[in-house]
Amino acid sequence: MINTSAIFSEFIDLTNKISKSYNTLSTLEEVEIGTSPKDLVWECDKVKMFRYRRDTPAKTSIPVLVSFAMMNRHDVLDLQPDRSFMKKLLEEGLDIYIMDWGYPTRADQYLTMEDYILGYMNDAVDFIRRSHKIDKIHKMGICQGGLFSLIYASIYPQKLKTLTTYVAPFDFKNVNCNMLFKWAKYVDVDTMVETERVIKSDMLNNAFSMLKPSMDLAKYFGVMDMANDKDKMMNFLRMEKWKADCPDISGEMYRKYITDLFKHNKLINGEFELDGKKVDLKNMTVPFLNVYATEDNIIPNETTTSVMSFIGSKDKELYAFPGGHIGVFVGGKSQKELAPSVAKWVIQRSK
Amino acid sequence: MSTKEKSKNLLNDFIETQVNVVDKIVENTKKIAKDLPIVNETLDKGYKAIKDGINTQKEWATKLNENMEKTQEKFNAGTDSTKEFFNSWFEKQMNWSKTMFNNNPMNSFTNNTNNDMMNAWTNWMTQMATKMNTPNFNNPWASMTNGNMMNNGFGFMNNSNDYSQKMSEGFNQWAGQMKQYSDMMTKSYEEWTSQLGNMTSSDTFKGMANMNEHVSKFFELWLPMFKSINEKTFSPNMVNELMNVEKYKEFMDSFFKFMPDEHQKMMNQMNQKFIDSMKSYSENPMAAFNNAWNASPNMMFSNNPYSNAMEMYSNLKTYMNEAVSPLTKIIGDSNYAKDAQSWNNLADMMAQFQIKNNELQYMVYQNGLTVMNKLSTKVSDKLKAGQSIDSVVVLYQDWLKLGDETFTELFNTDAYTALMTEVSSLQMKIKNEVDNKMEKTFFSNLPLATRSDLDEVYKCIYDMKKVLHGFERHFNSLNDENKPKDAKSSKK
């Protein structure tokens, strides 16, 4: 039977919850993320580099450069004071620089992967080496930023003390491991670049959302249950703000990313070239910590872990984080376990 | 329009809507209870009280408006008053809705017992029967029942007599009220959103509104099934017969948003010119879908109607080319001929896009039905186990969960991926082609920089920057080479 009374009450309750949520939302101030203090130390075109401020001396004189993926902002690493992976790494004694890829526009359509890796990333690394008068720095990379950092480490191993990557895709062999990998294999990237020139973040977000089509609606049931809890609501909003803040991507960079890596898996097959020069993973000899999330539905584990047998590093380690793609940076275990472990691993290799 | 005026209009809108809703509820309730003098009397009294309440509220709102204007002048911030008013209005609205619902004779019995409408009805009727059997009892239902129904037991529940008819009417009225209420809320969301302090909060509120709207759509879609459940005629395989196909499409479209708005608008405009002629074989997916639906409500048909559409189109194209090519040969290789050919190619791409996009949507609709079938089986199992349907939200969440499983499975197939990427590619090619044609047609003779011109400028700037950055790196490396030497010499 249909319980009409209960259903009617439910609709009223639902609307009531929305009303309460509205009241809570209307009392909230500006949603701020990425608030740990940091200073702009370098910039080139739209790419910037910041250095996080420290209250105490670092435990190692060798700084770390962090590079995030280009299709999202790095602010998720510093989402809020009590959920900040960066803050935790600072507390553990690291001296941290972070790259900000900026927001490419149609004027940046011609920027290539070479410009990003051999240009901006290399210039930023050199700036730190020069500023600290050291030969090598620690490098960290997240997701696509991890892949680019591995490519960089294969070209310039002499400039890096260690490489740590988080939830990064390296091996695109198995297209059936994930819907997005399969779509990338089929997508007409040339037409996409010729038409759009810069790849719109909306387009990519739509594709990501298809991994779980209900997500964009279902999440609001949870939000309404936190209507009376300002703090929880604020946590939700911070994450929403981060998710909505997606830069577009230079078309030429995207073309190579999809064609050479996703479609033809050239890096793992030993055929990948940057600026006409082959990138050999066997040259990647720096100590390597490869962090992956066991519940990652965006970057399947096999695409991350299999790279271990292709690189030249002797000191290499896999770290299985129990959680999802973003949980690596915002979950409770991220603060309590992952950040201290990573910092310890890096500091041990700083001598 | 100033914030002050907006808020004033907002208040007026609220009151007007409120009056309309209450009027409608009273009117509908009267229709349901037209043969119930006692209920009507109570209703009239209640209605008067509500009207008085609204009038008081109107006065209060006018005063509030005045106060608000003063407050705004003083503090330059009138949104708090609006919020305050909204809260008060909302509370009253909810209470009245609940009261009206509880006063509705069709619902009073449902609120008293174990949340089971039919059991409650039976219990209530038993009580009424006991009362009616007492001497001198004035039976208010007499005019409705055409005779002594008690002598017939409760068999009338399963027949289409006045009661079950009125039950159905009541159900429809109730659904109408729900929809009206939901529409009213949706309309107001936009106004409320504009009052929020930051974009993230606004987006979140919009998201909640969308979710609420989608739940309402789902409810509307399932109403025929609810009726059937209450009439004890429901079975899982009936879902395709009972469901309104238009509403189903609307529901699915709002969930997947097949094309971004801009593209959709553009395609619609272009369809006017080019696609009309292709209508016979590239109909809107709904036509084929509808036909197939009617032919086989179980939706287990194996033939894809679009495979034929594509074949028919190819044949037509060949025929047209054969017919037209002699003419183009006569015209020769002129710009006109090239232009005509180019438009022809564009029309060709658009027809292909239309057919394939329809096929893609059709694929999703079909899988959406699989989800509905799974859900109806789940509902049926629940009913068989003697449970009642107490929550549309839970039902909707079940749909979301089953949908995730089914749709991601579909998205992972080679067939879907190949078609989806092909559609996407065609769409982009059309967009590119149209952009180029627009430039050539409208801007080529004007002293304006076109997007193509700017792309060339961007390329020049990019090349120059590359040279500049090369120099910078070179200078930096020269400095690096010099510095250690300086350091050594200074040590010496």
Higher local confidence (pLDDT), B449 or B77:
B449
Which residues on B lie below 8 Å from A181 (Cβ)?
Answer: none
DSSP per residue over A82-130, as a string?
A: TEEHHHHHHHTT--EEEEE-----GGGTT--HHIIIIIIIHHHHHHHHH
| Chains A–B, number of C-beta pairs less than 8 Å apart | 214
Residue A268 pLDDT more than 60? yes
pLDDT, tens only, A137-164: 999 999 999 999 999 999 999 999 999 9
Find the mean pLDDT for residues A106-130. Answer: 97
Higher local confidence (pLDDT), B250 or B404:
B404
Residue B153 pLDDT more than 90? no
Smallest Cβ–Cβ distance between A237 and the set B200, B417, B459 belongs to B200
Please report, for residues A141, A192, A220, B252, B275, the alpha-carbon distance to residue A204 in angstroms, rounded to integers and kept in the order given: 20, 12, 22, 21, 29
Predicted local distance difference test score (pLDDT) of residue B473: 92
Residue A315 pLDDT more than 90? yes
Which residues on A lie below 8 Å from B118 (Cβ)?
Answer: 1
CA distance linking residue B290 with residue B292, whole number of Å: 5
pLDDT, tens only, B67-112: 444 433 433 333 344 345 444 544 554 454 444 444 444 344 334 3
pLDDT range class, residue B295, cuts 50, 70, 90: low
pLDDT range class, residue B378, cuts 50, 70, 90: very high
Find the mean pLDDT for residues B413-433. Answer: 90
Interface test with B, best of A25, A129, A263 (most B CBs within 10 A): A25
- Phi and psi at B33, nearest 5°, equal -105, 35
User: Nearest-CA distance from B446 to chain A in Å?
Assistant: 23
Q: What is the mean pLDDT of chain A?
A: 94
Q: How many CA atoms lie within 13 A of B252 on its CB side?
A: 25
Which residues on B lie below 8 Å from A2 (Cβ)?
Answer: 117, 226, 229-230, 388-389
Find the mean pLDDT for residues A179-201. Answer: 93
- Asked if A173 and A268 touch (Cβ cutoff 8 Å), the reply is yes
Find the mean pLDDT for residues B344-359. Answer: 79
Letter for the amino acid at A285?
T
Residue B404 pLDDT more than 60? yes
pLDDT range class, residue B332, cuts 50, 70, 90: low
Predicted local distance difference test score (pLDDT) of residue B348: 78
- A217–B400: do the CB atoms touch at under 8 Å? yes
- A1–B229: do the CB atoms touch at under 8 Å? yes
Higher local confidence (pLDDT), B281 or A247:
A247
Of all residues in chain B, the one with the smallest CA distance to A116 is: B466
Pair type for strands A47-52 and A38-44: antiparallel
Residue A322 pLDDT more than 60? yes
- A2–B389: do the CB atoms touch at under 8 Å? yes
pLDDT, tens only, A206-236: 888 888 889 888 999 998 888 888 899 999 9
Smallest Cβ–Cβ distance between B197 and the set A28, A130, A214 belongs to A28
Which residues on B lie below 8 Å from A123 (Cβ)?
Answer: 469, 473
Percent pLDDT > 70 in chain B is 41
- B389–A219: do the CB atoms touch at under 8 Å? no
User: Nearest-CA distance from B17 to chain A in Å?
Assistant: 16
Residue B8 pLDDT more than 60? no
Predicted local distance difference test score (pLDDT) of residue B391: 92
Percent pLDDT > 70 in chain A is 100
Find the mean pLDDT for residues A158-178. Answer: 95
- B412–A1: do the CB atoms touch at under 8 Å? no
Least confident stretch, B141-150, B249-258, B320-329: B141-150
- 3 state SS of A264: coil
- Phi and psi at A291, nearest 5°, equal -95, 125
Please report, for residues A117, A270, A292, A319, the alpha-carbon distance to residue A281 in angstroms, rounded to integers and kept in the order given: 15, 7, 19, 20
Give every CB contact of residue B138 below 8 A, 6+ residues apart in sequence. Answer: none
Which residues on B lie below 8 Å from A220 (Cβ)?
Answer: 204, 207-208, 210-211
Predicted local distance difference test score (pLDDT) of residue B19: 55
CA distance linking residue A23 with residue B211, whole number of Å: 18
3-state helix, strand, coil in chain A (%, to 5): 50, 15, 30
Smallest Cβ–Cβ distance between B116 and the set A3, A182, A188 belongs to A3
Higher local confidence (pLDDT), B246 or A71:
A71
Smallest Cβ–Cβ distance between B421 and the set A30, A183, A217 belongs to A183
- A5–B255: do the CB atoms touch at under 8 Å? no
- B197–A176: do the CB atoms touch at under 8 Å? no
Of all residues in chain B, the one with the smallest CA distance to A211 is: B408
What is the value of pTM for the model shown? 0.73
- B178–A8: do the CB atoms touch at under 8 Å? yes
CA distance linking residue B32 with residue B404, whole number of Å: 41
Max avg pLDDT among A75-84, B26-35, B440-449:
A75-84
Angle between helix axes A230-244 and A215-225 (nearest 10 degrees) is: 160
Higher local confidence (pLDDT), A325 or B152:
A325
- Asked if A51 and A296 touch (Cβ cutoff 8 Å), the reply is no
Residue B346 pLDDT more than 50? yes
Of all residues in chain A, the one with the smallest CA distance to B417 is: A183
Smallest Cβ–Cβ distance between B458 and the set A16, A45, A109 belongs to A109
Predicted local distance difference test score (pLDDT) of residue A85: 97
Which residues of A form the catalytic set? 143
C-alpha torsion A326→A331→A337→A343, nearest 10:
50
Which residues on B lie below 8 Å from A179 (Cβ)?
Answer: 408, 411-412
Predicted local distance difference test score (pLDDT) of residue B237: 79
Smallest Cβ–Cβ distance between B211 and the set A182, A212, A220 belongs to A220
Least confident stretch, A160-174, A265-279, A305-319, B258-272: B258-272
pLDDT range class, residue A338, cuts 50, 70, 90: very high
In our burial notation (b when 16+ CB lie closer than 10 A, e otherwise), range B143-170 reads ebbeeebeeeeeeebeeebbbeebbeeb
Find the mean pLDDT for residues A293-301. Answer: 95
- B412–A115: do the CB atoms touch at under 8 Å? no
Give the H or E element holding residue A64: strand A64-67
Higher local confidence (pLDDT), B265 or B155:
B265
Find the mean pLDDT for residues B368-388. Answer: 90
- Asked if B446 and B439 touch (Cβ cutoff 8 Å), the reply is no
Predicted local distance difference test score (pLDDT) of residue A318: 98
- A237–B400: do the CB atoms touch at under 8 Å? no
Percent pLDDT > 90 in chain A is 79
Percent pLDDT > 90 in chain B is 13
Residue B375 pLDDT more than 90? yes
In the block, which residue shows the tokens 């972070």? A98
- B392–A11: do the CB atoms touch at under 8 Å? yes
pLDDT, tens only, B208-241: 888 888 888 888 888 888 888 888 888 887 887 7
Residue B17 pLDDT more than 70? no
Which residues on A lie below 8 Å from B383 (Cβ)?
Answer: 1
CA distance linking residue A249 with residue A102, whole number of Å: 10
Which residues on A lie below 8 Å from B97 (Cβ)?
Answer: 12
Residue A307 pLDDT more than 60? yes
- Identify which of A144, A151, A134, A346 has the alpha carbon closest to the alpha carbon of residue A249: A144
User: Nearest-CA distance from A245 to chain B in Å?
Assistant: 10
Residue A39 pLDDT more than 80? yes
First and final C-alpha spacing in chain B? 77
Residue A252 pLDDT more than 80? yes
